[in-house]
């Protein structure tokens, strides 16, 4: 029987594994995707992260690479990829984690499933799936070098991408259906002061192209109803993600897991940290999740080893 099963290998699941290793726990991380890293690998591998303590700037891909190095240096065989956790069965003093390929008995569980298994939200136009140059995530920035790129969306992600790409691409435009952006003020200001073409308040009405290649989009001004045609090499949709629901039987609020102050869920010895949880003041970023992992793993070690002198520094 394992001491701990960690579900999800996003940044918070990986760091939880690093901590579990330092605490000498017998643990396993189970990840449904073929690559670790969660949103950083799937959605923004080439974005520079600039809000991590002590790291002025690091690409998301490199940050996950560093976490993986740290994990594998401590524990080389603790990560199972391509394995989806389907259900958790609660027994009297332990749990059984049922996955797509196996079942594991464990004393404790840490859920780090972030957004879960998410799908990008599409534009919703009929011929959208025909075009190969409509992107919902960016596998490589270089593919957009010297291209005419239109970004759709008005949140942090759309604004971040516009700023990240503006100097690489030939022309960068952003289209949002409202006048105001729902992004950090300093980022919006930087965008307004840049060469990025801003179209607000506009909705996208039509996609035009041939041979599976989108060549232009038709926009409609929300107020005046005037139409405008913009040509493009790539359309990059940033309308957010639609999470799929998991079957874990812990208490939730609006789809997010509720926790106590040590990040234990409604079920004894099942903990949760990172983007999947909710509490007053929760911030959905990496640093907040890393701190939660420290508290949860310390508590888990205390539960597993009540007489042990629990380490705080390593
Ligand atoms: C565009 C964008 C830019 C961002 N920029 C920043 C930034 O600059 N700084 C910052 O701090 N934060 C940023 N964030 C937020 C940050 O990415 C999240 O806070 C972070 O990814 C949360 O990590 P997590 O490990 O909790 O979840 P996730 O990263 O969502 O990882 C969860 C993992 O669990 C796996 N999983 C889910 N369900 C199962 C299952 N049933 N079985 C097995 N595995 C499962 C998933 O496949 C995934 O790999 C950004 C987010 C976006 C979308």
pLDDT, one tens digit per residue, over 160-178 is 999 999 999 999 999 999 9
Answer with the one of 221, 239, 257 that is the final residue of a domain: 239
Q: Indicate whether 133 and 27 sit together in one domain.
A: no
Q: How far is the CA of 65 from the centre of ligand 1 (A)?
A: 15
For residues 9 and 111, the answer to whether their CB atoms sit within 8 Å is no
For range 222-249, the mean pLDDT: 91
Q: What is the pLDDT of residue 180?
A: 96
Confidence of residue 183 (pLDDT cuts 50, 70, 90): very high
Answer with the one of 200, 216, 239 that is the final residue of a domain: 239
Q: What is the pLDDT of residue 287?
A: 98
- Do the bridges between strand 171-175 and strand 148-152 make them parallel or antiparallel, or are there none, so unpaired? parallel
Q: Indicate whether 145 and 216 sit together in one domain.
A: yes
Domain contains 312: no
Q: Indicate whether 110 and 133 sit together in one domain.
A: no
Q: Is the dihedral of CA 26, 31, 35, 40 positive or negative?
A: negative
How large a percentage of the chain has pLDDT more than 90?
89
**Is the shortest distance between the CB of 246 and ligand 1 below 6 Å?**
yes
Lowest mean pLDDT among 11-15, 213-217, 245-249: 245-249
User: 45, 67, 113, 136: which to mutate for ligand 1, most atoms within 8 A of CB?
Assistant: 113
Q: Indicate whether 173 and 83 sit together in one domain.
A: no
Domain contains 294: yes
Domain contains 210: yes
Domain contains 311: no
Q: Indicate whether 126 and 223 sit together in one domain.
A: yes
20: exposed, middle or buried (Cβ count in 10 Å: 0-12, 13-18, 19+): buried
**Which residue's alpha carbon is nearest to atom 27 within ligand 1?**
114
Q: Indicate whether 94 and 12 sit together in one domain.
A: yes
Q: What is the pLDDT of residue 115?
A: 81
Q: Indicate whether 100 and 153 sit together in one domain.
A: no
**Is the shortest distance between the CB of 84 and ligand 1 below 6 Å?**
yes
Q: How many domains does the chain have?
A: 2
Q: Indicate whether 213 and 248 sit together in one domain.
A: no
Confidence of residue 244 (pLDDT cuts 50, 70, 90): confident
Q: Which of 260, 298, 297 shows the shortest CA–CA distance to 278? A: 260
Domain contains 314: no
**Is the shortest distance between the CB of 11 and ligand 1 below 6 Å?**
yes
Domain carrying residue 282: 2-118+242-304
Structure-model confidence comparison of residues 139 and 90, the more confident one: 90
Atom of ligand 1 nearest to the CA of 39: 29
Q: Indicate whether 235 and 246 sit together in one domain.
A: no
- Do the bridges between strand 256-258 and strand 95-99 make them parallel or antiparallel, or are there none, so unpaired? unpaired
**Residues near 211 by beta carbon (within 8 Å), at least 6 away in sequence:** none
Q: Residue 175's beta-bridge partner residues?
A: 152, 199
By residue count, the chain amounts to 314
Q: Indicate whether 49 and 14 sit together in one domain.
A: yes
User: 114, 160, 282, 288: which to mutate for ligand 1, most atoms within 8 A of CB?
Assistant: 114
Dihedrals phi, psi of 80, to nearest 5 degrees: -105, 120
Which pTM was predicted?
Answer: 0.77
Q: How far is the CA of 46 from the centre of ligand 1 (A)?
A: 15
Q: How far is the CA of 275 from the centre of ligand 1 (A)?
A: 7
Q: Indicate whether 110 and 13 sit together in one domain.
A: yes
Q: Indicate whether 42 and 104 sit together in one domain.
A: yes
Instruction: Give the CA radius of gyration of the chain.
Output: 22
**Is the shortest distance between the CB of 183 and ligand 1 below 6 Å?**
no
**Is the shortest distance between the CB of 112 and ligand 1 below 6 Å?**
yes
Answer with the one of 204, 219, 239 that is the final residue of a domain: 239
**Is the shortest distance between the CB of 243 and ligand 1 below 6 Å?**
no
Q: What is the pLDDT of residue 247?
A: 81
Q: Domain containing 225 — which CATH number?
A: 3.50.50.60
Domain contains 32: yes
């Amino acid at each position: 029987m394992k001491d701990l099963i960690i579900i999800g290998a996003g940044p918070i699941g990986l760091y939880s594994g690093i901590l579990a290793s330092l605490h000498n726990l017998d643990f396993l991380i189970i990840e449904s995707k073929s690559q670790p890293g969660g949103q950083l690998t799937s959605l923004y591998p080439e974005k520079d992260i600039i809000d991590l303590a002590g790291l002025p700037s690091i690409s998301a891909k490199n940050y996950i690479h560093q976490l993986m190095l740290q994990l594998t240096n401590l524990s080389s065989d603790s990560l199972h990829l391509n394995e989806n956790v389907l259900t958790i069965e609660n027994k009297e003093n332990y749990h059984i984690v049922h996955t797509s390929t196996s079942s594991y008995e464990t004393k404790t569980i840490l859920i780090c499933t972030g957004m879960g298994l998410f799908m990008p939200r599409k534009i919703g136009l009929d011929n959208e799936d025909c075009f190969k140059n409509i992107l919902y995530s960016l596998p490589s920035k270089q593919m957009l070098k010297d291209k005419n790129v239109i970004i759709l969306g008005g949140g942090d992600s759309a604004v971040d991408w516009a700023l990240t790409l503006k100097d690489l691409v030939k022309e960068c435009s952003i289209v949002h259906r409202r006048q105001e952006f729902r992004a950090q003020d300093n980022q919006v200001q930087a965008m307004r002061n840049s060469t990025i073409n801003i179209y607000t308040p506009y909705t996208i009405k039509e996609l035009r192209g041939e041979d599976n290649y989108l060549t232009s989009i038709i926009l409609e001004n929300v107020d005046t109803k005037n139409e405008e045609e913009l040509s493009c090499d790539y359309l990059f949709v940033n309308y957010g993600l639609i999470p799929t629901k998991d079957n874990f039987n812990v208490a939730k609020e609006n789809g997010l897991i509720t926790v106590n102050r040590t990040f234990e869920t409604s079920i004894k010895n099942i903990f949760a940290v990172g983007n999947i949880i909710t509490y007053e003041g929760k911030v959905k970023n990496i640093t907040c999740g890393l701190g939660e992992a420290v508290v949860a793993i310390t508590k888990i070690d205390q539960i597993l080893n009540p007489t042990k002198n629990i380490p705080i520094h390593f």
